[in-house]
């Protein structure tokens, strides 16, 4: 999937949010290879009220639309049931998400997966919300490398494994470097 253009008038920042294992894995067999209740709460808080853009496999893995967010799903397949918004290209998805953010007052458009969507949008992102999962699971989907020339770390929080977490994590926010 190629990187869609975003014009300079697209003023709503684009952010990627993902849980990424130490070996770069983000998914296995259509799901996540861990259980992280703490991270799911953070994900909900950071995405609530914002348009979320995802691929069809990510949507299928969720099992249902995420409440309180406009769910924009990029797919070449059949139309999805409402309230999901089906789009045929990533460019159409980003345009729909940007317009939704403008009309609702959301301060970001959130990219929530999967690997192909992340790879196509990381060059457009202003911010990355990454939960580094301290594990090395087997998997079939990886997150693109975060280039230090492009992004700088602006915050870091170490999170010990909670009662309902399979692993300790580190929550890091990266901001695009000014050119």
The pLDDT tens digits of the residues spanning 67-96 come to: 999 999 999 888 887 889 999 999 999 999
The pLDDT tens digits of the residues spanning 29-45 come to: 888 999 999 999 999 99
The answer to whether the beta carbons of residues 73 and 10 sit under 8 Å apart is: no
Which pLDDT belongs to residue 139?
Answer: 96
2-16, 72-86, 151-165: the lowest-pLDDT one: 2-16
Alpha carbons 170 and 20: distance in angstroms, whole number: 10
0.85 cut: is pTM over it? Answer: yes
Q: The domain 14-176 is classified under which CATH number: 3.90.580.10, 3.40.430.10, 1.10.150.120, 1.20.120.1200? A: 3.40.430.10
Alpha carbons 153 and 172: distance in angstroms, whole number: 7
């Amino acid at each position: 999937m190629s990187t869609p253009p975003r014009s300079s008038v697209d003023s709503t920042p684009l952010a990627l949010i993902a849980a990424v294992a130490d070996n770069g894995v983000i998914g296995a067999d259509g799901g996540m290879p861990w259980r992280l209740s703490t991270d799911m709460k953070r994900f909900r808080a950071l995405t609530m009220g914002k348009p979320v853009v995802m691929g069809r496999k990510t949507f299928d893995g969720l099992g249902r639309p995420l409440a309180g967010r406009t769910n924009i799903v990029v797919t070449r397949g059949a139309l999805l049931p409402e309230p999901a918004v089906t789009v045929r290209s990533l460019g159409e998805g980003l345009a729909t998400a940007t317009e939704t953010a403008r009309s609702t007052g959301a301060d970001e458009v959130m990219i929530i997966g999967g690997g192909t969507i992340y790879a196509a949008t990381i060059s457009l992102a202003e911010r990355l919300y990454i939960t580094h999962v301290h594990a090395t699971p087997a998997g079939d989907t990886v997150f693109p490398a975060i280039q230090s020339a492009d992004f700088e770390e602006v915050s870091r929080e170490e999170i010990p494994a909670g009662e309902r977490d399979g692993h300790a994590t580190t929550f890091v926010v990266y901001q695009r470097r000014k050119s």
